[in-house]
Amino acid sequence: MYKHILLDLDDTILDFNASETFAFQKVAEDLGVTYSETLLDHYKIYNQSLWHKIEKNELTKAELMTQRFPGFFSQYGIHNLIGQEIDDLFRDYLATGAHVVPGAQQLLIDLKKAGKQVYAASNGIYTTQISRLEQANLIEYFDELFISEKLGYNKPHAGFFEQVFKQLEPASFDSSIMVGDSLSSDIKGANAVKLPVVWFNPNNISAPKDLTIDYQISDLTHLYDILDL
């Protein structure tokens, strides 16, 4: 039976897509840029490419925070932006977005009622993730928050999970499971240390053949049987 539950945050517990849309729209307005869904889509592709570099240890979070907005908006003729200032503004807006994935709060309540140990396992920016959990009134349900910025490793690096289990009791690994939506960080990372994993796949995309997926769900309520709730 799984007693120790590691939960990814973005798009597993917190609706990052909704929060990101709100924050980007506000930044565009502040810069005098006409917002459109096409502009947002282009930004998401650009931003995701930077996060994939972080997962591969080709870029640091500090570099991302200074580079992403000057790099993106330069494509639209906007230059001389101070990257850190714009990024701080974006993350301030992001932190106010208390958007929660449907069923996430009830899941957390039921996990605690069942006596499970619940941990956040996220690659996000530490202060931003803390603020979003507080805004959503979810932080109280977590026994510990494992954020890559504090651990020194990003998922999918095995070091992320090794640091997690150094801080937990050694025997906890055998009764632990990872739940997340990202194939490139959550699933691949869990595979790296042979940790059982649940792939949260609400869009029902095809499962890759090169990764081990112990369980696949399209709705968080499907976790109840897996976790004996």
Confirm whether 8 is a catalytic residue: yes
Please pick, among 10, 87, 181, 186, the residue that the annotation labels catalytic.
10
Strand 176-180 versus strand 117-122 pairing type: unpaired
| Cα 99 to Cα 15: distance, rounded to the nearest angstrom | 5
Place of tokens 């993730």: 129
Confirm whether 225 is a catalytic residue: no
Q: What share of the chain is helix, strand, coil (3-state, %, to 5)?
A: 55, 15, 35
Please give the span between the terminal C-alpha atoms of the chain, in angstroms, as a whole number: 11
Exposure of 133 by Cβ count < 10 A (0-12 exposed, 13-18 middle, 19+ buried)? buried
Please pick, among 8, 11, 181, 186, the residue that the annotation labels catalytic.
8
Find how far residue 227's CA is from the centre of its chain: 21
Residues recognised as catalytic: 8, 10
